[in-house]
A and B are shown apart, each in its own frame.
Chain A
């Protein structure tokens, strides 16, 4: 149902608040990271760097990218796996029996599209097929992009440490085989999977009044896919 607009700020408050939190914490990461980096430099008798130099360095780049890639992997997998997999009683799951891509009528595509459906949901053919997977495709693409960026920034940071330790730098392909790359990837992935898995299970038994991430407080533990 399309509700009447109550002004831009209220209509978009969730996105705006998270966007603001993202920017504030990214700046916080840059400032704290700069202070930490320069403290290490001073301890080793080396030159300190400016904020501009730090935020364009591989050290900052890999710290940012390794977190971004895992977030997009989380959403990519969550979107795709929840098409087919369910958790009885969870708000994060479809109801039992709805597994799969569902029919055109249920998905409101093609001739079942209504007046307010997006244009590409109505037209059929490749455009509807592409639009039907656009969210998962974007998340998957952003994951691959940020993972690639993480590997390149991580490679540069790794080679800097190699030289500081009087060892030879490695090629990008060589870095992909190094424990450093996989340690960075796995340590971020495991935390995302823990968070998603926890949410899927906790939402079966616990409630948070008013949140769409929770069932209604009085809803049965067995009810799947509803929100309060």
Chain B
């Protein structure tokens, strides 16, 4: 392979990487805001519940045996400062000091798909709030 064509390959691959990561970074502020609002224990219960995807909302209410607005205050959603945000396509993960939240992009914006998530040695996170 010639030096020039090799450089062009690297530049083009770098441009693609920039496109992939650049598109993700523009979504990060909204993702972070949704996660921190949902995890804020002093926030408005109705607003927090409105940030859940329908399946997670339904599961939460089924598990609690009560409306989300009445039950969300009892959940140990500790939130805290944002440690890391990952956005890949229509899915995202926000690591907070006290929790890990997974989000998905819907027609109305980013919504919480799973929260109260703890990592397991193998396999997916174990989440206390999650759609079935």
Contacts and interface: CB of A to CB of B under 8 A. Distances in A.
A166 B13 contact: no
Closest 9 CB pairs of A and B: A160-B89, A163-B91, A141-B5, A148-B13, A166-B124, A159-B88, A47-B107, A145-B9, A160-B88
A227 interface: no
A58 B20 contact: yes
A59 interface: yes
A168 interface: yes
B20 A45 contact: no
Given A46-B104, A144-B9, A163 B86 contact: yes
B123 interface: yes
Interface of B: 1-2, 5-6, 8-10, 12-13, 16-17, 19-20, 23, 53-55, 86, 88-93, 102, 104-108, 114, 117, 119, 123-125, 127, 130
Interface of A: 45-49, 56-59, 61, 130, 137-138, 140-141, 144-145, 148-149, 152-153, 155-157, 159-169, 172
A227 B102 CA distance: 61
A138 B2 CA distance: 9
A137 B91 contact: no
Given A59-B89, A156-B20, A169-B93, A164 B1 contact: no
Q: Could you tell me the dominant secondary structure of chain B's interface residues?
A: mixed
Given A46-B104, A144-B1, A165 B124 contact: yes
A148 B124 contact: no
Given A166-B124, A166-B125, A168-B119, A141 B17 contact: no
The A interface is mostly helix, strand or loop, or mixed, namely: helix
Nearest to B23: A56
B88 A156 contact: yes
B20 A166 contact: no
A140 B104 CA distance: 39
Given A153-B16, A167-B125, A58 B54 contact: no
B1 A141 contact: yes
Nearest to B108: A47
A137 B88 CA distance: 34
Contacts of A172: 17
Residue of B13, B54, B119, B127 with highest tally of chain A CB at under 10 A = B13
